Amino acid sequence: MPYQTTVGSLTYRFADLKTLLAKASPARSGDALAGLAADSYEERMAAKIALADVPLQRFLDEALIPYEADEVTRLIIDSHDTAAFAPIRHLSVGDFRDWLLLDSTDSATLTAAARGITPEMAAAVSKLMRNQDLILVAKKCRVVTRFRNTIGLPGHLSVRLQPNHPTDDLRGIAASLLDGLLYGAGDAVVGINPASDSPATLMQLWRMMDELRQRFEIPLQSCVLTHVTSQIQAIEAGAPIDLVFQSIAGTQKTNESFGIDLALLREAHAAALSLGRGTLGDNVMYFETGQGSALSAGGHHGVDQQTCEARAYAVAREFRPLLTNTVVGFIGPEYLYDGKQIIRAGLEDHFCAKLLGVPMGCDVCYTNHAEADQDDMDNLLTLLGAAGITFIMGIPGADDIMLNYQSTSFHDALYLRSTLGLKRAPEFDAWLAKMAITEASGQLRPISRGHALLRAF
């Protein structure tokens, strides 16, 4: 059905709900590339006004991508919790924004409502919100997960230690890994992006990380970020796999371009659970997402990139992951042109995921041909820290020498923890103190050449 609003003497009409959502989106290069963006600030504001009046129920009645054509749509509709939705069912999108910002809408209320909120509802309300609104509401959302430690507790920030190497050299990876541990990083996961898909190489990486963990009794989990089919095969071959990783997206067609579907993810989830390697919990999946993936795969169906991204969180939520993160500026300026667009996208992604009950981190990053710099990343890092981000990346020097992009360093995590008073996962914090890496306060201690980790490496 069409939507319209009048501004002055002009009446703006929007053919359907997905057009309205696209026109209401903050400016970004990906939507312009797809021909979906508003033609002017006036049209964008008119779309926001019209969107504010749309009942939340409409998103259940009018699928953006047909139910019959897309398994992600079917997942969203079939898993919708009508009881959780009941307290907000009467609201419009504008009313929903006001409700989210109320002091009385606390963490418990948001947790109870999460399964009643669809990705499209979350994306819609985010389009009416200022950056501070996204931060305030996300800060109230609590999503706690466990495997060998506890992630997502209020007042805590975890770090993925990312010791990549361009040739998967074990000594080079070990050096980066040691560097990260001595800076107190790694409580989210030690996650390696391998340069090779060789089963023998992948097995070496899994075994090296597991041997290190066992030798020093580190309460962490590891992951090799290769395709999910390789991980299933490795589990069958006896690999010591903690978390199963996969990049996911918000449409069936885009996921097919990644070589996956929901059935394959269910198989991987069951395989990881069968190993029983978690000591505190059974959140065994790790997912990555990013705005622009659906457009780059030709799988967006005319839906704006931020709404497509939010739909990916329905896929993540289905499998109760330990970790999910948006690799926010990685795809490039064709989708998020500059620092302003990257910052806005990072705040949107974090807000939408947390609102849906997904444990959300962010790879605060950009490619070298984007109109962005490290100051932009510092701004986003700080804003996300205020918003209660679950985890960030820890990369030596913030420069990934395998993937060739700019992210956040071990020092960036120290800055954020110090500035905002954030703690590490409690089990990991206790291990750091036991290993004489940190003081009781959590601050780093000077490390001598005789330290046990240096001797071992």
Report pLDDT for 42: 96
Give the model confidence (pLDDT) of 411-425 as tens digits. Answer: 999 999 999 999 999
Phi-psi map region of 263: left, alpha, beta (phi>0 left; psi -120 to 50 alpha): alpha
Report pLDDT for 266: 98
Q: How many whole angstroms from its chain centre is CA 452? A: 34
Report pLDDT for 402: 87
Binding residues for adenosylcob(III)alamin: 194, 246, 296, 402
Counting residues of the chain whose pLDDT is more than 90, the rounded percentage is 94
User: What is the Cα–Cα distance from 284 to 5, expressed in whole angstroms?
Assistant: 47
Give the model confidence (pLDDT) of 96-153 as tens digits. Answer: 999 999 999 999 999 999 999 999 999 999 999 999 999 999 999 999 999 999 999 9
Q: Are 233 and 205 in contact (CB under 8 A)?
A: no
User: What is the Cα–Cα distance from 371 to 383, expressed in whole angstroms?
Assistant: 19
Q: How many whole angstroms from its chain centre is CA 102? A: 25
Binding residues: 160-162, 193-194, 246, 288, 296, 363, 402
Q: Picking from 1-15, 22-36, 237-251, 298-312, which range would have the lowest pLDDT averaged per residue?
A: 1-15
Residue 408 burial by CB count (10 A; 0-12/13-18/19+): exposed, middle or buried?
buried
Q: Are 159 and 191 in contact (CB under 8 A)?
A: no
Phi-psi map region of 118: left, alpha, beta (phi>0 left; psi -120 to 50 alpha): beta
Give the model confidence (pLDDT) of 340-383 as tens digits. Answer: 999 999 999 999 999 999 999 999 999 989 999 999 999 999 99
DSSP 300-339: -TT--HHHHHHHHHHHHHHT--SEEEEETTSS-TTTS-BH
User: What is the Cα–Cα distance from 381 to 340, expressed in whole angstroms?
Assistant: 13
* Sign (positive or negative) of CA dihedral 72, 14, 40, 298: positive
User: What is the Cα–Cα distance from 180 to 163, expressed in whole angstroms?
Assistant: 8
Binding residues for substrate: 160-162, 193, 288, 363
* Sign (positive or negative) of CA dihedral 144, 150, 156, 160: negative
Which residue type is seen at 207? R
Number of H helices, E strands in the chain: 22, 14
Question: H or E stretch including 146?
Answer: strand 145-146
Q: What is the pTM of this model?
A: 0.97
